[in-house]
Each structure stands twice: as structure tokens, then as C-alpha cells.
A = this chain, B = another copy of it.
Amino acid sequence: MIRPTSCHSSASSSRYYSAPVDGTIPLAKQKYVPSSGTYPKGFLVSGTHVGVKPTNKSTPDLAFLASETPCAAAAVFTKNKFQAAPVTVSREMLKRRNNTGVRSIIINSGCANAVTGKGGLEDAEKMGAAADGCFEPPTDGKGGGSIVMSTGVIGQRLPIQKILSKVPLAYDGLGTSHDHWLSTARAICTTDTFPKLISRTFTLPSSPSIEYRMAGMTKGAGMIHPNMATLLGMIATDAPVAPSLLPSLLTNAVNKSFNSISIDGDTSTNDTVAVLANGAAGGKEITFESSEDYASLQSTLSNFATDLAKLVVRDGEGATKFVTIRVTESPSEVGARKIASTIARSPLVKTALYGKDANWGRILCATGYSQISEPGMPINEATDVVPEKTSVSFIPSDGSPELKLLVNGEPESVDEVRAAEILEHEDLEILVRLGGGNEEATYWTCDYSHEYITINGDYRT
């Protein structure tokens, strides 16, 4: 058995994608960072340096978003049984306030405040109270309205006094410029190599003359998998939405965006995506799910969330590839999702992609085991995969014709030169046709590189 001694040196291509030690954005990622934006009215933001990690001497690590007026808010949280303290605190606040009267989101990076026991819960409460203290207390008796998030290493206590002492500075630093938004997006990053910020304008059917705005930011880049990850996201819009409708709008948007990406299959303790709507742009409030405005906003929010989620994959830890996995012609959407998710998680698929190896056998293999149950588990085996009906292709990112790898269960004679060309590109779509129905699902994922191992083998130090 001959085994390659080194197919990629850590010093070449993979290194290209990592975050330089000085915090500058890698050349290949600079195109994903906007140089301007149109931001929603009535929202102010700031990114402030605290030094949550003692080694951080200057990078902003406290993000603050405030609405000039109390607004509607909703959030989706991780389903991990070990929910971080800020998740508990934020969930309780939204419930207590019934999704109304929310004034701010406060986020620290560098420490997740997860699995920190009762002390950690107190810390998260203090952080929320400090943010609340920046605003007039609500007169409805329902308490302050600040969402708290934390991201970073698990199992360590927050340097809470350090954070609290900087909240006034964060408040004083609030502003509406593009630089303010970019600095805030930077403050929530951990192993991200670039800040993830998007903004756009839209209209609603009932008031075509009003320009509404939406802006949002997110962070990755490890523990990313549905339900979700050390993934945080916040989206703000100046459109007017009834508080009771915001949770369903967000849940629908997240299911096909943040819940359809996988970096490494790990679902973290802190995942939170929140949306705030303050209605500052005016117009008629959306109050019915059956309205045209609702449908229109749902579409805008879903597309927006998808674009944010894709940025997370684009910056997956150590990633050198951005891979779309589309499973079509499925008897069920659940089946299509499960298959796409399984391919996205397969370490063998992910390493082959890194090695630019057209090893489609591994894609098939993952497809084939996606719906089997583990021994001892309740048997719940679906029959969406029929080998004789299954086809697999690469869809090149440059618009050239698809490369068929397997057609109806029979392997094609693959042009390896062509396959290698396709795999040279950063972007790739893997298309699996099940030949058994009309449902489909799409996942976005990245590869596993030496860099991924380096980053995660030594994260805490």
C-alpha cells in the first residue's frame, strides 16, 4: 500500500484562507465585505473593545444594537440541552415582554458564558440589565427589553465587571454610519476571518412608495449545523410588523437558511438569531398572516437570512470550498433534507472536496447511509433512496454543462480532467437526483482542511 505522505502542505493553499494573526481580512474574502450600505432607520449600533479574552488588546468584542423606539422582536434559539446562560435570559425576556417593547441587543465575543452554572446566569442577567439601563425604563411593568448573546469558548465565566464597565462606552459610541455597522459586525466574530454584514432595501405591496430597509450580521464559523451552532445573527428592519407575527416570520426564514447549513455537524449551546422590527420607516403595520405584505416580507426576510447564512459557510473554519448540495426528485422533503444534511456532514466527502478529488463514491456512500438507523435505535428507515434511480452530477460554478458521475445507479465514465477543472473552483454544486418524486432540499457546506484541524486542535490556547 502506497500512501501519499503529503497532499497539501499546511503552508500553501489552506493557509491562504485563514485569518491572519493581525486581524486583516484575507485577500480572497475581501469581496464579501461591503464598503457601504443602506441601514434601517431608528437603529444605532456600536462595536467596542472590552478585552474579554486577555490576549485581545484592541479588536472590538462588544456589539450593541439599539432601537430609538421600543420595537417588536423575535428570536430562535439552539435546541442543545446545555443552553448557555444568555439563551435562557433572552428567551425569558421575550416571553415576559411578549415580543414587544424591545430596545437593544448586546453581544460579547470571546467567551460563550455556557455551562457556567448559576453564576453564569447571574452574569447574563447583569449584562442584560446594564443594556436596559441605557434606556428609559418601560412603564408597562414587564421589565427591560434587551436581548443578550455570547459566543466563544464554553465553560469559562465571563469577565463580567470588565464588560459592565464598558457598556456606557458602547452606548456613547452608538451611530448609524456604515463604519458603525461594520465595527459592530466585527465585534461578534470569533474564528471568523471577515465580518458578515448585509443590508438592502425593499418595498411592501401596500405602500410601494416607502423604501424599507433591512440590515443584519452573523458570525460563524465552527459548531455550525442545524439547530444551530456557535452561530449568532441579528437582523433589524424599519418595516412595521405586529409583534405576534414576528416569531413565525423568523422561524420560516431560518429553516431554509441558518438551519440548512453545516460546517462540522456540531450544534452549539449558544445559537441565537434575533430579528427586530421598529416600524421607523412608517407605513401600515402588518397584522395578518394572510396579507400580501406578510408574504412579501416573508420572502424578503427568507432571502436575506439565506444570504447571511451562506456567508457563514463561506467562512467555515479552514474552508477552501463553498459547496451547494441539492437533492431533488425526492418522494419527501424530509428525506431530501436528511440526505443533503448527511452528505454535508460526511468527513470523507469534505476531505475529498478539499483534495479536489472527484470521489463521487463517497457522495453515494453518504446518500446510502443517510436514512439508516444506528443499531439499537428505533428503526425508522425511509425508502427515499433507490439505487437504480439515483443520479449524481457536479454542477460547475462557471455555468458550463453539468458533469454526470452516476446515472440511474450506473457509473458514468468520468472525464477526470474535466472533473479536476471543476474542482479547481471555490464554488461547486453537488446535485443528487433521487428519481422518485418532486420534493427537494438544499444545503450549503464547506470542506475539511488541515486548517480546520489546526484551528480546532488548539482553540482555547
Interface residues of A (CB under 8 A from B): 1-10, 15, 18-19, 21, 23, 53, 55-56, 59, 78-83, 112, 114-118, 153-155, 189-192, 222-223, 226-227, 255, 259, 264-269, 333-334, 337-338, 341, 345-348, 351-352, 354-355, 357, 359-362, 364-369, 371-372, 374-378, 380-381, 385-387, 390, 406, 409-411, 448-450, 452-461
Contacts and interface: CB of A to CB of B under 8 A. Distances in A.
Contact of A55 (B2, B10, B255, B334): B2
Given A56-B2, A368-B80, A460 B374 contact: no
Contact of A82 (B4, B18, B365): B365
Given A18-B5, A117-B409, A357-B461, A368 B81 contact: yes
Given A115-B411, A155-B406, 19 more contacts: A5-B18, A80-B368, A80-B369, A82-B364, A82-B365, A83-B368, A154-B361, A154-B365, A227-B372, A259-B374, A259-B376, A264-B347, A266-B348, A334-B376, A334-B378, A352-B457, A355-B457, A378-B380, A450-B450
6 contacts: A81-B369, A81-B386, A83-B368, A347-B452, A348-B456, A352-B456
Contacts of A341: 374
Nearest to A360: B155
B334 A226 contact: no
Given A8-B454, A376-B255, A456-B352, A411 B2 contact: no
Contacts of A81: 367-369, 371-372, 385-387
A452 to B, nearest CB: 7
Contact of A456 (B222, B347, B406): B347
A254 to B, nearest CB: 8
B458 A7 contact: yes
Nearest to A268: B365
A376 B332 CA distance: 11
Contacts of A223: 348, 365
Q: Which of A23, A259, A375 has the most CB of B within 10 A?
A: A375
A155 B456 contact: no
A281 B32 CA distance: 71
A454 B355 CA distance: 8
A155 B80 contact: no
A269 B378 CA distance: 22
A192 to B, nearest CB: 8
A9 B10 CA distance: 8
A8 B397 CA distance: 34
Contact of A347 (B83, B347, B377): B347
B266 A359 contact: no
Given A364-B115, A457-B351, A59 B1 contact: yes
B117 A345 contact: no
A351 B453 contact: yes
Contacts of A455: 3-4
A374 B338 contact: yes
Nearest to A449: B453
